[in-house]
């Protein structure tokens, strides 16, 4: 890099930081329109119109809100252990968080994508990305369980992920960080970046019926940073578009060193062409290791398999897969409009929004009008692929969503606003302040062929002075705007869990009726299920003690257990016998160094415990399930190692020592 650029770039960065705090919109209090309460009021007992699936960012989870009320309905554990549900703590769910690096109890979930059929949300699944230790999760929208987690090899910083093609043929994931591939010697100097570091795009196929994910192939790309992506649709179906930054290939002080070039790129990937090469056997099989974790609904148990091979296609040596469209200044969002013709790149440091034309791109490619190459990939001319620019839209454009009526809505981080503009004439139509520093925004179906343009939701990074203070940390927030008219109208403000990035709002009518109410206990194929209280038992196998426990309002069986010793491996296999909606039972035992179990009706969950001290340990149900919930408890007696106390267990008359002889004095 040229040294003279350093002060200039640093000054720009400083100006942006200053602006983030000083360019706040004024008149916060006046911004809410008078009829807001009416528009967001969902009377007690009434349902919301939309489910909003919101990424939790550094919480690693996904939360579900109702819209327009903003009511929090659920937090779905995805990449992080969750003590509330026992996710990642129970023996059944631990394998979900296994990776080729072992058990990893946390990740950073940024983007949520809904499965699509014919370019429309079909309500089957939502997907989320693990940014840190690259993984993709699939969540089942009938159980709200994380059904599958697939690790991605040759990857670091799984950020431009998980975006879907229009029939969920593939969930696609690009790397934010380039690194040496997994099968190369990674012990190289960091300053050998240009020589040794590569990026990867994974095409993960999704089985139409089961939803099961599989890495179909990976593309080897130059060592740059992919930020975001979206699939083509309609005429551009078969293509995928990625925003690229750090095309400078810097490896230190990226703030400056990756902001040198006037233009970075939108990388256009012809994945149909990649499929052809794959069929012709042009893929190279590479030995790698990655975990594939699947939750089996029948056994209610997750398994983790370490896979060992991927097929890699090199876009730098296989012509026709990749093309570069110059895009100003470190683009972040990369969004495709509902018609599939317009591709919007949002340069974080750019003062305009370029809109690219798919048709013009195809013409340039077909006429081989290239402006040299970047790492052997043809570069197109900006003017040749540009449809036009939105001039002076705001500061710091990040993401764009569409209303399906010819308009686009772009979030501006620095100027804290949403700007509505027309796709055809590129004129700004409206702007609405956000409080503050909006990142993503979403319109229900806003990245599909068929948006439902009732609302746009802003996901804000900073909420300083918006809520009662809660120490140094304040909740991030979402803001709901009515966009049914010409002007955006702020109607609601609600705090979120973790840091929200992308979200998907889905019409409730699409999914609510298939929401599962309980699990049929007769279909429960968990190895340790206990069907019916008479089958409750305790079995010793060497130093392992299996407790087959049943729960039904309002007792546990067995609730008295003796003959267990210090150092035994004790497994509480807890089966909830209820067959009714919304009656979970919980399980916790004193001194267990894990979380509780929360067990749904008809389900089995296992808590492992190795008692370390002699004594009597109470256990109890943690979920207030009935008037006699506090009675739903029991005791286990832990004797010294080698003790002669016989194994005995039971409830009531069958308790060790027989009937409870307590009498009431009259
Ligand atoms: Cu938050 Cu999509 Cu990770 Cu933009 S990214 S804000
Ligand atoms: Cu079961 Cu409380």
308-330 confidence digits (pLDDT tens):
999 999 999 999 999 999 999 88
Share of the chain above pLDDT 70, in %: 94
Question: Which run of H or E residues covers position 18?
Answer: helix 5-22
Q: How far apart are alpha carbons 541 and 535 in whole angstroms?
A: 18
| Per-residue DSSP letter, 535 | G
Contact call for residues 61 and 80 (beta carbons, < 8 A): yes
State both tokens at 17: 């930081």
How far is the C-alpha of 335 from the C-alpha of 354, rounded, in Å?
A: 11
Instruction: Using pLDDT thresholds of 50, 70 and 90, give the confidence band for residue 350.
Output: confident
Q: State the pairing for strand pair 50-55/503-507.
A: antiparallel
pTM: 0.95
Task: State percent of the chain over pLDDT 90.
Answer: 91
pLDDT at 11: 46
Average pLDDT of the segment spanning 181-210: 97
Calculate mean pLDDT across residues 556-578. Answer: 98
**Please, what sign has the CA dihedral across residues 95, 99, 102, 108?**
negative
The pLDDT confidence band at residue 662, using thresholds 50, 70 and 90, is: low
Is residue 545 scored above 70 in pLDDT?
yes
Query: What average pLDDT score do residues 579-596 get?
Result: 97
Which of ligand 2's atoms lies nearest the C-alpha of 629?
2
pLDDT (mean) for 457-479: 95
Question: What integer pLDDT is reported at residue 244 of this predicted model?
Answer: 96
Tell me, what's the pLDDT at 632? 98
User: Using one digit for the tens of pLDDT, what is the confidence trace for 65-80?
Assistant: 999 999 999 999 999 9
pLDDT at 657: 85
Phi–psi pair at 10, nearest 5 degrees = -65, -40
347, 331 contact by CB (below 8 A): yes
Q: In this structure, what DSSP letter does residue 498 have?
A: S
> What is the three-class DSSP state of 606?
strand
Give residues with Cβ within 8 angstroms of 607, minimum separation 6: 86, 89, 90, 91, 571, 572, 574, 587, 589, 592, 594, 596, 597
Please report which confidence band the pLDDT of residue 10 belongs to, taking 50, 70 and 90 as the band edges. very low
Nearest-CA residue for atom 6 of ligand 1: 439
- pLDDT confidence of 28, banded at 50, 70, 90? low
Q: Please state which of the ranges 10-24, 292-306, 552-566, 576-590 shows the lowest mean pLDDT.
A: 10-24
Helix (H, G, I), strand (E, B) or coil at 393: coil
Identify the band that residue 9 occupies on the pLDDT scale cut at 50, 70 and 90. very low
pLDDT tens by residue, 143-158: 999 999 999 999 999 9
Collapsed DSSP state (helix, strand, coil) of residue 141: coil
* pLDDT single digits (tens) 515-526: 999 999 999 999
Ligand 1: atom nearest CA of 110 is 3
The finding on whether 629 has its CB within 6 A of some atom of ligand 2 is yes
Ligand 1 binding pocket (C-beta < 6 A) is 110-111, 159, 228, 332, 398-399, 439-440, 501-502
Rounded to the nearest whole angstrom, what is the distance from the C-alpha of residue 456 to the centroid of ligand 1? Answer: 16
- Tell me how far apart the terminal alpha carbons of the chain are, to the nearest angstrom: 93
């Amino acid at each position: 890099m040229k040294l003279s650029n350093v002060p200039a770039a640093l000054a720009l960065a400083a100006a942006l930081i200053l602006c983030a705090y000083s360019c706040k919109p004024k008149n916060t209090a006046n911004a809410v329109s008078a009829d807001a309460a009416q528009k967001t009021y969902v009377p007690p007992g009434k349902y919301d119109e939309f489910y909003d699936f919101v990424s939790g960012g550094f919480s690693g989870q996904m939360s579900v809100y109702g819209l327009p009320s903003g009511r929090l309905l659920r937090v779905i554990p995805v990449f992080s252990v969750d003590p509330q549900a026992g996710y990642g703590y129970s023996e059944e769910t631990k394998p979900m968080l296994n990776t080729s690096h072992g058990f990893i109890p946390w990740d950073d979930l940024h983007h949520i994508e809904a499965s699509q059929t014919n370019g429309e949300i079909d309500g089957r699944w939502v997907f989320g990305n693990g940014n840190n230790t690259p993984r993709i999760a699939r969540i089942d929208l009938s159980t709200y369980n994380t059904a599958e987690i697939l690790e991605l090899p040759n990857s670091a910083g799984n950020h431009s992920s998980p975006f879907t093609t229009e029939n969920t043929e593939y969930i696609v994931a690009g790397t934010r960080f380039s690194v040496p591939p997994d099968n190369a010697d990674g012990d190289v100097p960091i300053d050998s970046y240009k020589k040794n570091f590569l990026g990867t795009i994974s095409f993960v196929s999704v089985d139409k019926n089961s939803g099961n994910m599989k890495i179909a192939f990976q593309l080897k790309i130059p060592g740059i940073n992919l930020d975001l992506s979206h699939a083509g649709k309609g005429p551009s179906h078969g293509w995928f578009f990625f925003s690229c930054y750090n095309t400078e290939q810097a490896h230190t002080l990226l703030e400056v060193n990756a902001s040198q070039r006037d233009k970075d790129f939108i990388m256009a990937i012809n994945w149909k062409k990649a499929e052809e090469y794959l069929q012709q056997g042009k893929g190279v099989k590479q030995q790698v290791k990655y975990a594939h974790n699947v939750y089996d609904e029948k056994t209610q148990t997750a398994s983790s398999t370490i896979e060992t091979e991927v097929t890699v296609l090199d876009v730098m040596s296989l012509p026709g897969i990749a093309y570069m469209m110059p895009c100003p200044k470190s683009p972040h969002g990369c969004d495709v409009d509902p018609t599939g013709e317009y591709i919007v790149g949002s340069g974080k440091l750019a003062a305009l929004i370029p809109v690219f034309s798919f048709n013009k791109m195809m013409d340039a490619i077909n006429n081989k009008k290239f402006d040299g190459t970047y790492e052997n990939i043809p570069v197109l001319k900006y003017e040749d692929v540009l449809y036009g620019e939105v001039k002076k839209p705001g500061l710091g454009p990040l993401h764009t969503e569409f209303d399906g009526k010819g308009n686009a809505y772009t979030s501006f981080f620095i100027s804290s606003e949403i700007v509505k503009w027309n796709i055809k004439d590129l004129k700004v139509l409206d702007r609405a302040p956000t409080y503050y520093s909006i990142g993503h925004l979403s319109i229900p179906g806003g990245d599909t062929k068929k948006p439902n343009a009732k609302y746009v939701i802003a996901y804000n990074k900073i909420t300083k002075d918006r809520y009662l203070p809660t120490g140094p940390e304040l909740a991030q927030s979402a803001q709901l705007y009515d966009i049914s008219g010409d002007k955006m109208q702020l109607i609601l403000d609600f705090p979120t869990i973790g840091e929200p990035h992308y979200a998907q709002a889905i019409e409730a009518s699409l999914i609510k009726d298939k929401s599962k109410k309980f699990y049929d206990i007769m279909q429960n194929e968990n190895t340790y299920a206990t069907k019916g209280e008479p089958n409750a038992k305790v079995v010793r196998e060497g130093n392992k003690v299996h407790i087959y426990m049943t729960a039904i309002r309002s007792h546990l069986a067995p609730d008295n257990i003796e003959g267990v010793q210090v150092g035994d491996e004790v497994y509480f296999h807890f089966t909830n016998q209820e067959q009714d909606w919304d009656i979970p039972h919980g399980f916790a035992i004193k001194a267990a160094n894990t979380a509780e179990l929360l067990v749904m009706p008809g389900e089995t969950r296992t808590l492992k415990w190795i008692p370390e001290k002699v004594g009597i340990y109470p256990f109890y149900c943690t979920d207030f399930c009935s008037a006699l919930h506090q009675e739903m408890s029991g005791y286990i007696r832990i004797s010294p190692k080698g003790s002669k106390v016989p194994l005995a267990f039971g409830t009531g008359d069958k308790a060790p020592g027989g009937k409870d002889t307590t009498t009431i004095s009259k």
